[in-house]
Chains A and B, each alone.
Chain A
Amino acid sequence: MPRNLVVSVTLMLVACGRPDVVQHVDLDQSYPTQAGGTLIDAMTGEPSNLISMLAGESAAAAIAGNIFNSLLKYDKNLELVGELAQSWEVSPDQKSITFHLKPGMLWADGKPLTSNDVLFTWRLVTDEHTRTPYGADYKLVQKAETPDPLTFRVTYAQPYAPALDSWAGLHILPQHLLHDQDINTTAFARHPVGSHYYQLSEWKNGERITLIRNPHASQGQARIDRLVSRFIPDPAAQFLELMADNIDSMNLSPIQYARIFPARPELLKKIAQYRELGNAYTYLGFNLHHKPWDDKRVRLAINYAIDKQELIDGVLLGLGESIASPYKPGTRWSNPALKPYPYDPKRALALLKEAGFEDHDGDGLLDRNGKPLSFEILTNQNKERQMSAVLIQRRLKDIGIDAHIRVLEWASFIGRFIKTGDFDVVVLGWSLGQEPDQFNIWHSSQMDPGKFNFIGYSNPTVDHLLEAGRLELNPDKRQTLYHSFAKQLYDDSPIVYLYAGYGLPAIHKRVRGIDSPAPPAGIGHNSYEWYIPEPLRRNEISQ
């Protein structure tokens, strides 16, 4: 009896479903540009708050990036251009930078946005009391001043080239709303007022954030009226929502992109797939404090023994590139003269023999002084990294190297192994940032526990180049410095570059104005120009 009740309630609920069948419109027809409409996307994580100096996670950056402006930004070719600043100049001694703000800018509440807001934000991010992990770049500023409401000038003790990048990464906050608030606990963090294209309309914890167009936007008007970001942690559920046309865009996994999509013509008909350069690369890193990794020949041998194309084909289903420098391929910082090390097991064996490793006892494993070449590859719970480790393990076994794999949860991995330097080999990733300075990762002064040169790389030439790169603000001269830096890294091979995967967004074809193929900055660079022609909009949520 109760089961009949369950069934009938279920049927009742089902029967009330909206018969919201997509109208038969031609998704390939072209339509004129038009403002309005709602774009719904899916994110796996929820931001903790929307003040990006306090929130570390990418979800916060993605949403706050639509609400707040920085002084500068990166354009579609990843070159710095003004955002709140219409221009900036560097003093002849390269120590101070003067930003000239665009006149007449307003906050979303209609109050004017001036250089005082910029100064206020700088004071906040450098304040000891502020709970931000990002203060270091801004603390190098010796003097910050506002000669007039449209001018902001910072002076450094010595030239600091990453400064410009740091000003492209600092969201400017409104002084008039925050001056009497404790930034660490303010309600503003979840009810922000910014100056960018959109403003917060609604935040339903754990479910979604809705942004609406900001009528006072400092950079002109975006075309789409509302952006809804739904938090759906599971990629499979996201994909089902995309198939059911409940969301317009999501980031695909290689399997979804290369296997599921091509097998479903009805999906291809309504959803467009894009590929863009990813923001990170995966590498195999050696602990250079441990033997035998202090020997360059052994590191090179491992590099030759790993088939990078196999990794790209196997792990990313071909949706990635191999790299030879820690920069985005095709951007000015990436050294075009460097080519990834080829797969060459014979060369690997020769190098290992040179370093003293041979199969002396005939057990199939290479050994030196009676000790076999055996080590542990450590990685975290990341599918792609785990799969890469397995493929690497097999290739190493082919030439007589015994590698074990150990997979750990992130916080334990960092806390127990990386910080203490208690590891042999790791598979990890670094981001491919727009700023070429990688002092924190490669300089020999950055080896202490908790710092980022945990592999213990030390090369005086690289130290010197990294220091020089920080002092040089001229992009062309910097480029030469960083190309030599990448060459040194390439020769020393302290890490093996495995691959840089593509970002694989899928967007419903109702969304128009998307650049394809994607420029280096990715398809999102002009999202404010995207539009949804009226006949293609969903009808269910017109309010």
Chain B
Amino acid sequence: MTQYLLKRLFWMVPLLVGISLISFLIMHLAPGDITTTEAGFNPKASEESRQKLRKIYHLDEPLIVQYGLWLKRMGTLDFGESFAAHQRPVLWQTKDKPGSPGMIQEALPITLLINILGLVLILATALPLGLISAVYQNRPPDRAITVFVFIGFAVPGFWLALILMYWLGVTHNWLPISGIHSLGYETMTWPAQWLDIGRHLVIPVFISTLGGLAGISLFVRNGMLDVLHQDYITTARAKGLSEPTVVYRHALRNALLPLITLLGLSIPGLIGGSVIAESLFAIPGMGKLFYDAVLMRDFPVIMGILTIGAALTMIGNLLADLAYAWADPRVRRGVAG
């Protein structure tokens, strides 16, 4: 087991290097760099000064040299500094620059908070919905749930968000419209601060939950249906077990196994925000950070986010595999053998 783990971890390194190289090359395929976007079209900014900036940022070097420089820094886990945001550290605050927190350091907690809340809500809602659908297959409750989750999936999030912002924020003034903190946030007591953040998150989390319900609830429904038609369920029923025991003890636990993969795969998704939602709600999260970085051609930030995303995807896969082994004895024995 330990050997397996070490082997998996070891292979992650070359894989990461490969992914980062491909990301780096694709990023540079798009024309333009920071000097074309930053003051690029201001007649007061001269081409000579832009050449000077290119030199400072090593953008005049061949691509492979630039990649080498980046890789060398990454060797010491130094994600570098943003070109666009006045040399702010990409990842984390450094000791030599106090008072300048890292860009990912600031954006990540907000995005994580929203996504984890969203994921918990999705699971808490989708599991029972999927279960009910499967048990009442093709009967009115199933139909109603399917219609409901598909409406949630199909309604454009930004449109519903605007309607909710208008209705809850303007018409009734019940909830804040955008942002994450109110103006007097610093002067509040901590329960009031939590409440304040919570109030700001209601609409964004609701929107992201609604969109994610369909996938998971249908996944649970189909997994359940699969299992309910297995021989051992028939056996359980034949033994005379009560229906709830059959459904909850025998069927559900087996039906949930594939969900582990799904959850493992959603780990990298947790750090990615939605650009549209974050712009609409004025939430300074990861989606907006990445989008702006791409538009500005802010290479260190783009590479930083892509690398972390790649690493998390691999870790998510590994965790999913391990969780599988933990949850399912068949898999565990397969690994050991």
Q: Are B37 and A187 in contact (CB under 8 A)?
A: no
A240 touching B44 in the complex, CB below 8 Å, given contacts A190-B100, A410-B37: no
A-B contact count (CB 8 A): 195
A430 surroundings in chain B (CB, below 8 A): 43
Q: Hey, which chain A residues are within 8 Å of B2, CB to CB?
A: none
Interface status of B13 (Cβ within 8 A of chain A): no
Question: B254 to nearest A CB, angstroms?
Answer: 22
- Contact across chains for B40 and A237 when beta carbons are under 8 A apart: no
Contact partners of A240 in chain B: CB under 8 A: 162, 165-166, 169-170, 177-178
> Which of A10, A204, A241, A409 contacts B177 (CB under 8 A)?
A241
The answer to whether B177 and A237 touch across the interface, beta carbons within 8 angstroms, is yes
Pairwise interchain contact B49-A134, C-beta atoms closer than 8 A: yes
A residues 185-199 in Cβ contact with B at 8 Å:
185, 187, 189-191
Point out the residues of chain A lying under 8 angstroms from B30, CB to CB: 411-412, 415
Q: Decide: A244 and B173 in contact? CB cutoff 8 A.
A: yes
Q: How far is B275's CA from A422's CA once the two chains are assembled, in angstroms?
A: 32
Tell me if B44 and A48 are in contact (CB < 8 A): no
Nearest residue, chain B, Cβ from A15? B174
Assembly CA distance A132 to B46 (angstroms): 10
Q: Does A29 count as interface, using CB distance less than 8 angstroms?
A: no
Tell me, yes or no, whether A157 is within 8 Å of chain B by CB.
Answer: no
| A interface majority secondary structure | loop
Query: Is the pair A16, B195 in contact by a Cβ cutoff of 8 Å?
Result: yes
Contact yes or no, A3 B125, CB < 8 A: yes
Say yes or no: B36 contacts A414, CB within 8 Å: yes
Check A231 for interface membership: any CB of B closer than 8 A. Answer: yes
Task: Determine whether the beta carbon of A237 is less than 8 Å from that of B174.
Answer: no
A543 partner residues in chain B, CB cutoff 8 A: 184, 187
Interface stretch (choices A347-355, A447-455, A465-473, A527-535):
A447-455
Which residues of A425-466 are within 8 A (CB) of B? 430, 438, 440-441, 448, 450-452
A49 interface contact, C-beta 8 A: yes
| Cα separation A134 to B38 with both chains bound (whole Å) | 11
B121 within 8 A of A: yes
**Beta-carbon contact of B162 and A133 below 8 Å:** no
What is the bound-complex CA distance between A202 and B288, given in angstroms? 22
Residues of chain B in range 128-176 having any CB-CB distance to chain A below 8 Å = 128, 162, 165-166, 168-170, 173-176
The answer to whether A246 touches B177 (Cβ under 8 A) is: yes
* A237 adjacent to B280 (CB under 8 Å): yes
Interface pair B44/A137, CB less than 8 Å apart: yes
Q: A56 and B38 in contact (CB under 8 A), knowing A16-B195, A207-B181, A234-B279?
A: yes
Contact at A133–B53, with CB atoms within 8 Å? yes
Is B280's CB under 8 angstroms from A234's CB? yes
Contact residue range for chain B?
Answer: 35 or more
B31 touches A415 (CB 8 A): yes
Partner of A450 from the list B47, B174, B281 (CB cut-off 8 Å) is: B47
Greatest chain B CB density within 10 A among A136, A184, A237 is at A237
Measured between alpha carbons, how far is A367 from B42 in the docked complex, in Å?
A: 38
Question: What residues of B have a CB within 8 angstroms of the CB of A448 in the complex?
Answer: 47
Residues of B78-131 whose CB lies within 8 A of A:
81, 84-87, 97-101, 106-107, 121, 124-125, 128
Of A20, A134, A191, most B-chain CB atoms within 10 Å: A134
Contact B38 A133 (CB under 8 A): yes
Interface residue ranges of B283-330 to A (CB < 8 Å): 283-284, 288, 295-297
Which of B46, B48, B50 has its CB near the most chain A CB atoms (within 10 A)? B46
Residues of chain B lying within 8 A (CB to CB) of residue A232: 178-179, 282
Question: Are B177 and A132 interface neighbours, CB within 8 A?
Answer: no
B199 with A16: CB separation less than 8 A: yes
Residue of B whose beta carbon sits closest to that of A448: B47
CB of B166 to closest CB in A, whole Å: 6
How far is B53's CA from A543's CA once the two chains are assembled, in angstroms?
Answer: 44
Of the listed residues B100, B101, B162, B168, the one surrounded by the most CB atoms of chain A closer than 10 A to its CB is B100
Pick the residue among B42, B166, B178, B183 that contacts A133 (CB under 8 A).
Answer: B42
Chain A 218-247, CB within 8 Å of chain B: the 1/0 string? 000000000010111110110011011010
Known: A207-B180, A207-B181, A240-B166. A409 touches B173 (CB 8 A): no
* B45 on interface, CB distance cutoff 8 Å: yes
Question: Is A337's CB within 8 Å of the partner chain B?
Answer: no
Within 8 A of B (CB), among A85-139: 128, 131-137
Q: Across chains A and B, which 8 residue pairs bring their CB atoms closest together, nearest first?
A: A206-B284, A415-B31, A56-B39, A415-B32, A411-B32, A133-B45, A49-B86, A2-B124
User: With A202-B186, A205-B284 given, can you name 5 additional A-B contacts, CB distance below 8 Å?
Assistant: A2-B125, A17-B175, A131-B53, A133-B53, A237-B177
5 A-B residue pairings within 8 Å (CB atoms): A17-B173, A232-B178, A240-B177, A243-B170, A409-B295
Interface residues of chain A, those whose CB is within 8 Å of chain B, are 1-3, 5-6, 10, 13-14, 16-21, 40, 48-49, 51, 54-57, 128, 131-137, 169, 184-185, 187, 189-191, 202, 204-208, 228, 230-234, 236-237, 240-241, 243-244, 246, 409-412, 414-416, 419, 430, 438, 440-441, 448, 450-452, 540-541, 543
Residues of B within 8 A of A (CB): 30-33, 35-50, 52-53, 56, 81, 84-87, 97-101, 106-107, 121, 124-125, 128, 162, 165-166, 168-170, 173-181, 183-184, 186-187, 195, 198-199, 202, 206, 279-284, 288, 295-297
